Amino acid sequence: MKLPRLITIAAAAAAVAATTAAILPRGPADVLQPLPALTERALAARYATDARLVTRARQAAGRAGDPALAHALAGLRGQHFLSFDGRGQGEAVEVLGDLAHATRVAILVPGSSTSLATFGSRGTASPAGGARALMAEARRLDPRARLAVIAWLGYPAPSTVSPAVMTSGDAGQGAQALRPLVADLARHGHQVALLCHSYGTVVCGLAAPHLPATDIAVFGSPGMDASSVAALHTTARVWAGRGSHDWIRDVPHAHLLGLGFGPDPVAPGFGARRFDCGGAGHSGYFLPGSTPLRNLAYIALGDAAAVTR
């Protein structure tokens, strides 16, 4: 897809974006709840509090005549959230595994058109579903690993058909929310890996400078809003992958007039460690049994030598 066509699509999408905003109002990202003490008792209290918030949001969606959202929120019952906000598009930070005793934490950072309504409703293409697939694969590869996985929706992700998806404004808000979480986890002694998909790779690129993460893996990326790995100013291992059936390869990797996110992270000149994603499509990186899922699990586990290139 050529850049002029991309700009034309952006202009045409403005009306759609306005409609979306009326249904799911967007505004400045709220400050997510700070981490509690990472003890079993403190985490249990946080999970219980946020479970009540999920129930209230589900009830509110029912009263507002939004059965699809109410159904999606009903699917979140019984899950563990470090943070939850049912307003607007919503924010949710779900934990899988034993965060109190984990030594490594993998944080999944999703891309555009992610909201509470889609947080767990699109199988492994949703943050919650992808996190479950990742955890299952990591346990298969190393049953004794002390790994926790976080499905992170901590920013107002833009709609795929909105002009905002071609600028870094929403990603900047996401980076501001993501950095404190990673820093807090690192202060508690956790090694953190960021697994970033699509527009979420822009979030991770903006958050990367001096972030205390061991690994940053981007896949299905339109760019990281950086010219190279060196420009990210990170000591983390930076990984990049793209499936052979991912349409993102046809999006121009450029930055012009405030649109686009710069060079392709899988290009040799960018400097990332490329990892094999097989024939994955844009939403297929966490499919059970797939090459990208296996490699992402190894990155989450910190086993760089096992990742296939």
pLDDT > 80? residue 154: yes
pLDDT in tens, 244-298: 999 999 988 877 767 878 899 999 999 999 999 999 999 999 999 999 999 999 9
Class of 3-16+81-306 in CATH? alpha beta
- With 0-12 / 13-18 / 19 or more C-beta atoms within 10 angstroms meaning exposed / middle / buried, residue 289 is exposed
Question: Is the pTM for the entire model greater than 0.95?
Answer: no
Concatenated DSSP letters for 126-137? SHHHHHHHHHHH
Concatenated DSSP letters for the chain? --HHHHHHHHHHHHHHHHHHHHHS---SPPPPPPP--SSHHHHHHHHHHHHHHHHHHHHHHHHTT-HHHHHHHHTTTT-EEEEEE-STT-EEEEEES-TTT-SEEEEEE--TT--TTTSSSSGGGSHHHHHHHHHHHHHHH-TT--EEEEEEE-S-PPPTTSGGGGSSHHHHHHHHHHHHHHHHHHHTT-EEEEEEETTHHHHHHHH-TT---SEEEEES-S--SSSSTGGG---SEEEEE--TB-GGGGS----BTTBS--S-TTSGGG--EE---TT-BTT-TT-TT-HHHHHHHHHHHT-GGG---
C-alpha span between 88 and 155 (Å, rounded): 11
Average pLDDT across the chain, whole number: 88
Reported residue count of the chain is 309
Question: Cβ distance 84 to 92 under 8 Å?
Answer: yes
| pLDDT over 70, % of the chain | 89
* pLDDT band for position 32 (cuts 50, 70, 90): low
What is the torsion angle, in degrees rounded to the nearest 10, for the CA atoms of residue 251, residue 154, residue 195 and residue 191? 150
Which tokens go with 298? 């190894």
* pLDDT band for position 9 (cuts 50, 70, 90): very low
Domain ranges of the chain: 3-16+81-306
